[in-house]
Amino acid sequence: MVAKRLIVASHGEAATFAASVGVSAAEGDIPGDATTSATISVGQTVVGELEVIGDSDWFRIDLTAGQTVSISLSGSGAGPVEDTYLRVRDGAGRLIAENDDGGTDLNSLMRLTADRTGTYYIEANSWNGQSIGEYTLSVSEAQPLELYSLDQIANQLTSGYWGGNERAFTQPIFYEFVGLSQGEERLALEAMQYWATVADIDFSPASSGSSPANLIFQNSEEGAFAQSSVQFGNGGIVSSTVNVSAAWYAQYGSTLGSYTFQTYLHEIGHALGLGHAGNYNGAASYANDATYLNDSWATTVMSYFDQSENTYFSQQGFNSVYVGTPMLADIVAIQNLYGAPSTRTGDDIYGFNSVGIDAVFNATLYPDIAYTIYDSGGHDTLDYSGFAADQVIDLRPEMYSSVGGNIGNVAIARGVILEDAIGGSGADQLIGNDVTNVLWGNGGDDVIDGGILADILWGGDGNDTLVGSAGNDTLRGEAGNDTIDGGASWDYLFGGPGNDTLTGGNGNDGLFGDAGDDTLDGGAGADLLRGGGGEDYLDAGAGNDVIKGEWASDTLLGGDGDDIILAGDGLDTVIAGSGNDLVYGEAGRDTIYGADGDDRLYGASEDDLLVGGDGDDELFGGAGDDRIAGRAGNDLLTGGAGNDLFVFGDYGAGNVDTITDFQEGDKIGLDRSLLFGTIDKLGSLDLGAFRYGTQALDADDRILYQSSTGKLFYDADGNGALAPVLFAQITPGTALSAQSFEAFGNAAPPPFASGAEPLSGADPLFA
């Protein structure tokens, strides 16, 4: 046993001491196995030395299950280890993690999460044991990984991996195939083509003499790799070689959807100047070697980690699927080096029914593949109509779509605008972008959001949810029980068949329920609401609206504003709301309430109930035996044809209603609660309670009629002590008697017309 001098720093403070370690006197070194007594703790830094070629030092460390630490190994001192190599072993000495160049330059850096509580061993070594010199080993509590932006990832690809220096071809690229089979050549050509569609790069075949090859493809060596000759100083790539072995091609497939094709994309990325997504090479794991959360194939083909190994994406449901194009960060990176191209400027369709574009985007040929779309112009469509799985189709750049049963497998590159999207037969979610979109849900219970600007949304079959958001949108639910929200601006909403819910939101909207029992809410703005077939509920909300119930028995609410309401066919209920409203009951026996404002209510041909409410209203019963009540305000009441009942329940100054056409068969209804004991058991007015003139002579005289003026008064006490109250005006000279009146209160009176409902004390007229 000998004493070996170690330098240990804890929490940033350096200390020098002699530590007794288990090494043999002959070797004079820390053992490279589990017999070591050298230790390191979390928060410490140790300086050691590899004395001879092949030397390795083991340090024991105790960790707790679930604890995550960061381990770095770097060359240091006057004679540093040139290329460090870091390994971690479990308590039995079995290798569980390793790292070569995860740190800066050729230094090592890794994260480790302990899967159990106990002893682990950290091995300080060099690449292939070929270097000697001093090293610094540090262990610290790992900080949570950061979510990188695409620009941060692109910077890692173009310069971070290369130690801060970019590299790229500065002259035309001429390629040559050496020994490749026809199938291998096809994959290499396709991979070059996909890089050329996302960057301003031209690949041309080499020819002897005028254009010698500076990009060589070979299959003669094992594995897959790329290497480049780079000019010192300016980073210009002189030449690159891509090797994908014949065995690799045989093992990993020969199609565009294969891992072999992804390998060609990856290695050509290196040949063009891109490094790895992290400082790893040869082998790596997400748990140990990732330095940011979204290091994955989902963001870059230059990553080592598929979508499911990366826990950031796997926790969002992403599944592992091979990559068929440069991905989001790759496109940013390669355009930083070479500039942007003009690619696909026509009206292109991606997915099903695609014609004349790259095969990887054809969902019939390659339904299970990940790709990023780069498109320079035209009116373009994502068509995933052939898939039955539930999908997310997102037209926003730099967002992920989930199509064909995969999660997160399609993305749209930065700055790319695609206009339209078509869903499949599953329950899809379609999301629009910042331009005018046409979004088709097709079958299934879809959720469709148009985003800003004027969009057209089609729900298709199923119970769909359509949201227009901003912009002047057209939303069509079509079949199924749909929920449709126009959002801001001026929208048109069509429910289609089914029991739909339509909400106009802000703006001057048009809401059309069509068939089914629909609910329409106009919201703010001057809206047009049409219920269509079925028993609909229409609420116009604020604004000067036009409402039409159309067929069946509907409920129509005018809300605020000066509204025009047409009840349509059926037994409709109308509440005009505040504002000066115009209401037509149209066909069917309707119940119409004017509510606030100076309203005009028309009953049409059936036995209707018209109630004016507050304000100076005009009520027209039309044909049929109607019940007409002006309520508060000085109202104008016209019964029209039929035996009509004019109802008075509010007495007092400033509340005098005028009956324009009282005729034989009509009745005047009086609120019983104001007439005390003058009611017989049938509810008609007692003969003694009615008197011609303007002065009550005895206690029975309650209703006074001045024929010469047509004025009707109510006397509260019947003896003239209290001045009679004028409550109605009819045509002067009209003949009246006690039988011209009906009194209503707690007991229900008889019907006023055959087949009509009796007016009871619980009737809302007297509420």
- What burial class does residue 129 get, using C-beta atoms within 10 Å of its C-beta: 0-12 exposed, 13-18 middle, 19+ buried? middle
Give the position of tokens 């500039």. Answer: 339
Judged by DSSP in three states, 271 sits in: helix
Q: How far apart are CA 585 and CA 568, in angstroms?
A: 7
- Estimate the crossing angle of helix 328-338 against helix 182-198, to 10 degrees: 70
Judged by DSSP in three states, 191 sits in: helix
Farthest CA pair distance, the chain:
140
- Tens of pLDDT, residue by residue over 673-717, are 544 444 443 466 778 888 999 888 887 788 899 999 999 998 877
Q: How far apart are CA 612 and CA 620, in angstroms?
A: 10
Q: No. of H helices and E strands in the chain?
A: 7, 55
What pLDDT, on a 0 to 100 scale, did the predictor assign at position 18?
27
Identify whether the C-beta of residue 608 lies closer than 8 Å to the C-beta of residue 588: no
Give the position of tokens 């004016």. Answer: 612
What pLDDT, on a 0 to 100 scale, did the predictor assign at position 651?
63
Q: How far apart are CA 87 and CA 630, in angstroms?
A: 92
What pLDDT, on a 0 to 100 scale, did the predictor assign at position 73?
97
Q: 710 φ, ψ to 5°?
A: 75, 20
Identify whether the C-beta of residue 567 lies closer than 8 Å to the C-beta of residue 592: yes
- Tens of pLDDT, residue by residue over 388-405, are 999 999 999 999 999 999
- Tens of pLDDT, residue by residue over 132-155, are 999 999 999 999 999 999 999 999
Q: How far apart are CA 628 and CA 639, in angstroms?
A: 7
Identify whether the C-beta of residue 606 lies closer than 8 Å to the C-beta of residue 587: yes
Identify whether the C-beta of residue 535 lies closer than 8 Å to the C-beta of residue 549: no
Identify whether the C-beta of residue 465 lies closer than 8 Å to the C-beta of residue 475: no
Measured CA distances, 746 to 649, 672, 681 (Å): 14, 8, 11
Identify whether the C-beta of residue 213 lies closer than 8 Å to the C-beta of residue 206: yes
532: its two tokens: 């269509």
Neighbours of 694 (CB within 10 A): 17
Give the position of tokens 């941060």. Answer: 152
Identify whether the C-beta of residue 360 lies closer than 8 Å to the C-beta of residue 256: yes
Q: How far apart are CA 514 and CA 505, in angstroms?
A: 19
Domains of the chain: 3-141 (2.60.120.380), 151-338 (3.40.390.10), 649-767 (no CATH)
Identify whether the C-beta of residue 471 lies closer than 8 Å to the C-beta of residue 494: no
DSSP state of 196: H
Residue 329's H or E segment, with its range, is: helix 328-338
Residue 691's H or E segment, with its range, is: strand 690-692
Q: How far apart are CA 272 and CA 651, in angstroms?
A: 93
Q: Which amino acids are annotated catalytic?
A: 267
Q: How far apart are CA 544 and CA 13, in angstroms?
A: 76
Residue ranges for the chain with pLDDT beneath 50: 1-28, 674-682, 746-767
Identify whether the C-beta of residue 459 lies closer than 8 Å to the C-beta of residue 481: no
Which residues are CB-neighbours of 549 under 8 A, at least 6 positions away?
531, 536, 538, 556, 566, 567, 568, 569, 570, 572
Q: How far apart are CA 369 and CA 362, in angstroms?
A: 10
93: its two tokens: 């000495």
Q: How far apart are CA 482 and CA 460, in angstroms?
A: 10
401: its two tokens: 């779509």
Alpha carbons within 13 angstroms on the beta-carbon side of residue 375 total 26
Residue 259's H or E segment, with its range, is: helix 259-272
Neighbours of 140 (CB within 10 A): 14
Residue 216's H or E segment, with its range, is: strand 215-218
Indicate left, alpha or beta for 494 from its phi (over 0: left) and psi (-120 to 50: alpha).
beta
Q: Which long-range contacts (CB under 8 A, 24 or more apart) does 654-659 make?
A: 655/727, 656/726, 656/727, 656/728, 656/729, 657/630, 657/727, 657/728, 657/729, 658/634, 658/728, 658/729, 658/730, 659/728, 659/729, 659/730, 659/731
Residues constituting the chain: 767
pTM for this model (two decimals): 0.84
Measured CA distances, 556 to 547, 559, 573 (Å): 7, 9, 6
Query: Taking the alpha carbons of 730, 731, 732, 733 in that order, is the dihedral positive or negative?
Result: negative
- What burial class does residue 332 get, using C-beta atoms within 10 Å of its C-beta: 0-12 exposed, 13-18 middle, 19+ buried? buried
Query: Taking the alpha carbons of 213, 219, 220, 223 in that order, is the dihedral positive or negative?
Result: positive
Q: Tell which residue, 378, 426, 373, has the closest CA to residue 401.
A: 373
Give the position of tokens 């504003």. Answer: 561
Q: Which amino acid does the sequence have at 367?
A: P
Q: How far apart are CA 335 and CA 154, in angstroms?
A: 10
